Amino acid sequence: MNQRHVVVTGLGLVTPLATGVDASWAALVRGVSGIGRISRFQGDGIQTRIAGEVKDFVADAWMDRKDARRIDLFAQYAVAAAEMALRASGLPIGHDKPNGYEPTRVGVLIGSGVGGLASAEEGHKKALASDFGRLSPLFILKILANTAAGLVSMRSGAAGPNWSPVAACSTGAHAIGEALWSIRTGRTDAVIVGSSEAAITRLGVGGFEAMRALSQRNDDPQRASRPFDRGRDGFVIGEGAGVLVLEEEAAARRRGAPILAELAGYGANADAHHLTQPT
């Protein structure tokens, strides 16, 4: 069997630099940093005061206001990034569209390392204060990592494989790799793929701080992220979403899709050594 080639035909980004691919790229090439003082909450005993917060995101621009209130911020980011990617790609899903894909042949893989952490904190607080009398019926849906993939499926009509890889900092890479293999092996013809995070909360920052993983260069936030520097004192937590549309190349070319890149391969291994410390 000939190997199926897989190409990228759409991109969507929500980042601490900006919302949108063009705006994020423009800020990046100008040397803008998305790292700054945390504005979401006060210190309250947490020493780390810097993070990469998304600053210009407006959920109402991408979804109904009522729908936005019913889902966690990480899912809002994912829905917006997926919509951008689909618009850029022009991915046709359904037999009623020219060169339309069979819906069951279009997958959605959108991962998240921690899912709806802010909703988990808020729900827990309300539950304890009311002896569980005020716990929202949407609580579980808000915190589940795979809620984002489900929402994108419903909005796009993609009815193929739908799941959420969870692999900490490697979540997005694993999602893209598994989507690549899904298309190469013939399970799908196209996949909406990416990852999303919104863990800049007291619990998220406090938890990483407790394991001594975060930089505390609070007086120099824009130079705190220095992964290969001898003076590195930890990483800087950020948030946002990135989504790609992947397609089998021949089908993408037949419909005249924009070919942005080709995926050449994917590998995933564990070092069988330590949960957090690389060898």
For every one of its 279 residues, what pLDDT tens digit does the chain have, with 9 covering 90 and above?
468 999 999 999 999 999 999 999 999 999 999 999 999 998 779 999 999 999 999 999 999 999 999 999 999 999 999 999 999 999 999 999 999 999 999 999 999 999 999 999 999 999 999 999 989 999 999 999 999 999 999 999 999 999 999 999 999 999 999 999 999 999 999 999 999 999 999 999 999 999 999 999 999 999 999 999 999 999 999 999 999 999 999 999 999 999 999 999 999 988 888 887 765
How confident is the model at residue 165, as a pLDDT?
Answer: 96
How confident is the model at residue 271, as a pLDDT?
Answer: 84
Dihedral (CA of 243, 248, 249, 254) sign: negative
Angle between helices 147-156 and 73-89 (to 10 degrees): 40
How confident is the model at residue 277, as a pLDDT?
Answer: 73
Strand partners for 240: 197
- CA–CA distance, 12 with 245 (Å, rounded to integer): 9
- CA–CA distance, 18 with 259 (Å, rounded to integer): 24
Q: Which residues contact 240 (CB under 8 A, 6 or more apart)?
A: 13, 14, 15, 16, 52, 54, 77, 196, 197
pTM of the predicted model as reported, rounded to 2 decimal places: 0.96
- CA–CA distance, 209 with 24 (Å, rounded to integer): 28
Given a contact cutoff of 8 angstroms between Cβ atoms, the answer to whether 62 and 87 are in contact is: no
DSSP 38-74: --SS--TT----EEB---S--GGGTS-HHHHHTS-HH
- CA–CA distance, 217 with 222 (Å, rounded to integer): 9
| Domains assigned to the chain | 6-263 (3.40.47.10)
Dihedral (CA of 71, 72, 74, 76) sign: positive
How far, in Å, are 55, 61, 74, 123, 144 from residue 118 at the CA level? 17, 21, 9, 9, 12
How confident is the model at residue 274, as a pLDDT?
Answer: 85
